[in-house]
Amino acid sequence: MSETNKKEDAYSQAVASGKYNRENGLHGKYDNVRVFWEDEVTRLFMRPQVEALLKRRAQENKGIHILDLGCGSGDGYELLTHIRQSDAGCSQDDIYLVPEARLSRYKGIEINQDLLNQNSQRWGRNSAMEFVYGDFSAGLPVSEGELPYDIYLTSYGAMSHLDEDQTVRLFADIVRHADDGSILIGDWLGRYSYEWQLLWDGETGKEQWMDYYISYIYPPDQRDKARLSPLKLRLLNRDEVLRIVERVESETGANLEVKELCDRSIFVGRHMDTNDYNPHLNPLRRAVNSLLERNVRTNLHELLISYHSQPDFPQVNKFFERFHSCWNFLVYHTIGLCKAYERGDTAGVPDSGDSPLPDRLKTAARHITNLFRHAEKSRLEDWRSDVIEPQLAYTLRDLEMSLQTGEGNAHGLMGVFMVKK
């Protein structure tokens, strides 16, 4: 075979593998927002309890056992094994809380056979991992005599597949099966996400469900043509989650202590870009994806939000009006700094004296300003796209974490609970 034919054959094999395609984080399931925002926010909220659990198990010279309910493509495994140590030093290389050496067992439960097959191909070589078919809508699918787990995990809205009685049954089974100090992580869709404002319903005494379409995986010009089957998913707020906890405690006689209840993806959820449930939305996820993409400049004005209030929900409106004003302030601040930098003058930061701005917003504005002040020391090809824009995304993410209230005002509502017996 000639050298030319060998080259053609090698390139053909590479293309056929499906791994030779140019990828970026602007689209798809694992876009930049998913990887650098949603996954990281989830880890940061989980970290205090997971870190404390690991210290206890280390003192007992024990590894970690994880049960992932509705494991999907094994995303829960990646969430947990990529939580960074809170005190990792800058010179430290091994920074993850749950390295493979500490993972004694990971068991994923999944009802979709295609996803199980995908997991077998993706993780099949790891002897500590097991993926099995199971339906947790009728309770905890474990075998008789199966040892307790340290972490019972659900992620990315998995609990929204269940009604309240099913959720109480599952959580009660977990509490009975778990050891004292085990962690339960529940994840639902928020009742008052701005993405589906047209569905807001204040009657929290009854369950609210939505037809959830995975339309966001298609380009905008293909969404209307795609034949999509909806998922029936329940929407919850804080009070509904706390009611579930009370019922579980009443049934089991144990304490399910609420450690965290937090909102995730307030203005960057998947359906911000589809307008499937709210015609007033800006495509903010697309814009934030662009902020986090190297060598791509973002039209910063596309990050600005025009919030449309819902008159029947004054408390929810109050939260969103405050949050969107803080978001817009930081975006306008960055736009102003870009213009000032071109004039050779970096604008000052907001006065921290009698200013009504939240402290975290003042800190974020100072951080962006300081980046501009040190711009002349950078030798990057495009300093704005590779430094300023990702840092703006991270400060917006930090703003979300600091201002969220865990009331169900976002795409995701995540709870971290500890079993106390």
281-321 residue pLDDT tens = 999 999 999 999 999 999 999 999 999 999 999 999 999 99
- Distance between CA 414 and CA 188 in Å, rounded? 6
Confidence of residue 250 (pLDDT cuts 50, 70, 90): very high
H or E segment to which residue 283 belongs: none
Instruction: Answer yes or no: is pLDDT of 174 > 80.
Output: yes
The tokens describing 127, both together, are 């002897």
The per-residue pLDDT of the chain, averaged, comes to 88
pLDDT value at residue 222: 76
One-letter amino acid for residue 173 of the chain: D
- Distance between CA 397 and CA 290 in Å, rounded? 14
Confidence of residue 51 (pLDDT cuts 50, 70, 90): very high
- Distance between CA 80 and CA 409 in Å, rounded? 25
Ramachandran class of 74: left when φ > 0, alpha when ψ lies in -120 to 50, beta otherwise: left
Averaged pLDDT, 374-386: 80
Confidence of residue 2 (pLDDT cuts 50, 70, 90): low
SS3 content of the chain, % helix, strand, coil (to 5): 45, 15, 40
Tell me yes or no: is domain 27-266+407-420 CATH 3.40.50.150. yes
- Ranked by mean pLDDT, the top range of 146-150, 214-218, 353-357, 360-364 is 146-150
- Residue 383's alpha-carbon distances to 333, 363, 376, 412, in angstroms, are 17, 21, 10, 33
pLDDT value at residue 1: 57
pLDDT value at residue 353: 46
- Distance between CA 25 and CA 8 in Å, rounded? 29
The tokens describing 371, both together, are 């980046």
Instruction: Answer yes or no: is pLDDT of 201 > 90.
Output: yes
Residue with the bigger pLDDT between 405 and 214: it is 405
pLDDT value at residue 246: 98
pLDDT value at residue 350: 46
Confidence of residue 18 (pLDDT cuts 50, 70, 90): low
The H-assigned helical ranges of 26-163 are: 32, 39-59, 75-81, 113-123
Residue 90: half-sphere exposure toward Cβ, Cα within 13 Å: 0
Q: DSSP 3-state assignment of 375?
A: helix
pLDDT value at residue 123: 77
Instruction: Answer yes or no: is pLDDT of 36 > 80.
Output: yes
Instruction: Answer yes or no: is pLDDT of 141 > 90.
Output: yes
Averaged pLDDT, 236-263: 98
C-alpha dihedral, 123 to 126 to 128 to 131, nearest 10°? 30
Relative to beta strand 129-133, strand 103-110 is: parallel
Ramachandran class of 365: left when φ > 0, alpha when ψ lies in -120 to 50, beta otherwise: alpha
Q: Are the C-beta atoms of 324 and 266 separated by less than 8 Å? A: no
pLDDT value at residue 352: 45
Instruction: Answer yes or no: is pLDDT of 346 > 80.
Output: no
pLDDT value at residue 216: 86
Strand-pair partners of 343: none
Residue with the bigger pLDDT between 74 and 32: it is 32
The tokens describing 114, both together, are 């295609």
Confidence of residue 12 (pLDDT cuts 50, 70, 90): low
Domain boundaries, the chain: 27-266+407-420, 284-403
* Across 100-114, 155-169, 292-306, 353-367, least confident range: 353-367
Instruction: Answer yes or no: is pLDDT of 8 > 70.
Output: no
pLDDT in tens, 266-282: 999 999 999 999 999 99
Q: DSSP 3-state assignment of 301?
A: helix
Q: DSSP 3-state assignment of 84?
A: strand
What is the sign of the dihedral through the CA atoms of 205, 210, 216 and 219?
Answer: negative
H or E segment to which residue 70 belongs: none
Q: DSSP 3-state assignment of 92?
A: coil
pLDDT value at residue 335: 94
Percent of the chain with pLDDT over 70: 90
- Distance between CA 306 and CA 321 in Å, rounded? 10
- Distance between CA 135 and CA 161 in Å, rounded? 11
Confidence of residue 21 (pLDDT cuts 50, 70, 90): low
* Across 18-32, 70-84, 222-236, least confident range: 18-32
Measured in Å, how far apart are the chain's first and last C-alpha atoms?
71
